[in-house]
Amino acid sequence: MNHPDKPRDFSDIQGGARSTEAVRGFGDIQSDARSTETPAGSERTYIVRSGDTLSHIAQQFYGRASRWKALYEANRDLLESPDRIFPGQALRIPDLDDDAF
C-alpha cells in the first residue's frame, strides 16, 4: 500500500534506471519511461551509473556530447564540479531548444 506521508525506499534501484515517481523539491516533474516525447519546457531525471560522465549523458539524451554544459548548469546545486558525478546521483535532464549550448 502506498502511504503519501511516508518516504519511499529507493535503495534497491539500479543505476541508469528511470523513475516515474515525482522528485521532491522539484514540483510535479515526473519522468515517464514509457514516453518518448516530453512537453516543451519539461525535464527528466537520470540516475548516474558507474562510468558515466556528463558528456556521455549529454550524448545519450541530446545526441551531442558537447551539450554537457547544459546538464552541469541544470544541476549546479548538486555538483561541485562537472568532472565529479557519482553512481546513484539523480540528475535533472532539461529539455533543450535545438540552438541551446
Domain CATH code at residue 52: 3.10.350.10
**Grid cell digits, residue 63:** 545526441
Is 99 a member of any domain? no
In a domain, 79, yes or no: yes
Summarised one tens digit per residue, pLDDT across range 57-96 is 999 999 999 999 999 999 999 999 999 999 999 999 999 8
Mean pLDDT of 4-10: 62
Tens-digit pLDDT profile for residues 23-54: 554 444 444 433 344 455 567 999 999 999 99
pTM of the full structure = 0.57
Q: Determine the Cα–Cα distance for residues 94 and 92; give it in Å rounded to an integer.
A: 6
The answer to the question of residue 25 being in a domain is no
- Domain residues for the domain of 56 are 43-94
CA distance 22 to 20: 7
> Given this model, what pLDDT does residue 34 score?
34
Q: Report whether 45 contacts 93 (CB < 8 A).
A: yes
The reported pLDDT for the residue numbered 10 is 59
Number of H helices, E strands in the chain: 2, 2
Q: 43-47 and 90-94: which strand pairing?
A: antiparallel
Say how many domains are in the chain.
1
Rg of the chain (C-alpha set): 14
